[in-house]
Structure 1
């Protein structure tokens, strides 16, 4: 770590800020709040958008290529994501190529 600049490592790599991330905790409709937050961050990434929500029992996720409004503007889309906690992501690809397989948030049930 380069002590003179906290965001540079020994190889000269630096912090990159291409995508957008938003989350809501302890919210009555966390997925709707997260979709609204991602909409405000749409300029950070326009390739794809995704949200994962937690209802205290189960994680549910929805991801799609395109803008936030194309994926989360309907009541049906938000209804698929019940819960009081949610996190979302808008993608601006810098590596890994375009496509749904690179869209976050990623979720895996390892139990």
Structure 2
């Protein structure tokens, strides 16, 4: 078994797990609920981690993770195609009319 990713933020860990699942790489999360034991255990021992059981997937998994982490984050506002309202970059729905963001 090989650990391919760990992070304090569970959301980031599950994004990586979902990415690998979508690419067909079998993986699982360890320490999913261990963060509550921080203080009793070392912080490094309770981090959520993504693991793969078959080492043949390690190079591909690391490649996908590296590509994912190197993607730039779009911080620019967007304009709704339905009502022409300007929305912040982190909005997926228009705050004015609830229209989906066109990607």
How does the TM-score come out when normalised to structure 2? 0.30
Q: Which has the higher helix share?
A: 2
Higher normalized contact order (CA 8 Å, seq sep 6+, divided by chain length): 1
Query: If you compute each CA radius of gyration, which structure gives the higher value, 1 or 2?
Result: 2
How does the TM-score come out when normalised to structure 1? 0.29
